[in-house]
Structure 1
Amino acid sequence: MLKSVPKLKSFNSPRTIANKLIRELQRKLPQYLLFEIYQKHFLFYQRVLAQKPKDKNKIYSLHEPDVYVIAKGKDHKQYEYGNKVSIVSTKDTNIIVGVASHDKNIHDSKTLTVAISHANSNRNKPIKQAVCDRGYVGAKIVLGAHIILPKKALKRDNRYQRDKKRKLCKRRAAIEPIIGHLKSDFRLSRNLLKGQVGDEINVLRPLHK
């Protein structure tokens, strides 16, 4: 007759272990510690344990609660965890004139206001044209700058206007190696600084080297 093997404690899921620890602490800690000093921490941990896979505004990191998921749409890397960063560079010389760190996972078109505002503060003249990729669809004019996106040529455009837009959209691709350079050589791919202030410092740090 086969005997059932007793379930080992190590087989319990991390969620089960964490729930047991919280219940044990709630039983043994004095009331003033639970409701005065550590109440915020207990509520935070209970929120993490109660969240489900399809919930919105989930917490992905205990030490960095502001981290969110960024959909990349690439085969080798579908998602990234962190925060969005906007980079603004000049058309001809590829000099970075503006950066912005975004604490919320908003649509790309809504990130242009902060990015262009920071770039304008570092220039003598405000930006009149900004060439972006298709992810910024929906934005047309931001802070007086006309947003140019790669799309089908308009019927009213003549040959010169079509060629000019095509060249500008091709030129936009020059910022991709700059972003890769910032990630690989200036450690923007991993942020070791804590909090939203740390995110902003991490973005500005390469510009001062």
Structure 2
Amino acid sequence: MILCERVHAQQQQDQHKNYSLHEPEMKCISNGKNHKSYEFGQKIWVTSTNRHNWIVGITLCQGNPYDGHTLKQAIATTEQITQVDVTDCFVDNGYRGHGCVGLAQVHTAGSSTRKLTRT
């Protein structure tokens, strides 16, 4: 009942709102997209193999960290689970400016240096 009273009393400008009664740890995440600027839930990262898409790691991120700050931990966890060094890492544009130099070669989506030519 305390949670219900808190939800009923919250105002639009309140800082720490409850967005779900059945999952109180749900957060409002701003994602910077024009058509859908807010999402509700929790942030996770998923690591999978490149060739056969085996999922080798899933981790729940506390709060709303910048994607690039979670990359070192994701690579280290994947190497620990698989006992294989990660050589290539394919990520989306949220990981730009990740700062992971020397761990693995990081390929950002849409940043191919290869140019197609017309023949």
Normalising to structure 2: TM-score of the pair? 0.68
User: Which fold has the larger relative contact order, with Cα–Cα distance below 8 Å and residues 6 or more apart in sequence?
Assistant: 2
- 1:207 aligns with none
Distance 2:61 2:102 in 1: 18
Deviation string for 1:15-67 (max 9, x for gaps)? xxxxxxxxxxxxxxxxxxxxxxxxxx75x666545533233332212332210
- 2:108 aligns with 149
Sequence identity percentage: 32
Distance 2:64 2:104 in 1: 23
- 2:95 aligns with 136
Asked if 1:94 corresponds to 2:63, the answer is no
Higher strand share: 2
Distance 2:101 2:69 in 1: 9
Given that 1:98 and 1:116 are in contact with CA atoms closer than 8 Å, whether structure 2 keeps it comes out as: no
Asked if 1:106 corresponds to 2:62, the answer is no
Given that 2:72 and 2:100 are in contact with CA atoms closer than 8 Å, whether structure 1 keeps it comes out as: no
Query: Residue 60 of structure 2 aligns to a residue in which SS?
Result: strand
Given that 1:140 and 1:147 are in contact with CA atoms closer than 8 Å, whether structure 2 keeps it comes out as: no
1:1-209 correspondence to structure 2 within 5 Å:
42=2, 47-71=6-30, 73=33, 75=35, 79-141=38-100, 144-150=103-109, 162-163=113-114
Change (3 A) 1:49 1:115: same
Aligned residues: 114
Q: CA RMSD in A?
A: 3.2
Structure 2: unaligned runs, 5 residues or longer:
none
Normalising to structure 1: TM-score of the pair? 0.43
Higher helix share: 1
Structure 1: unaligned runs, 5 residues or longer:
1-40, 154-161, 167-209
Given that 1:140 and 1:148 are in contact with CA atoms closer than 8 Å, whether structure 2 keeps it comes out as: no
Distance 1:63 1:88 in 2: 28
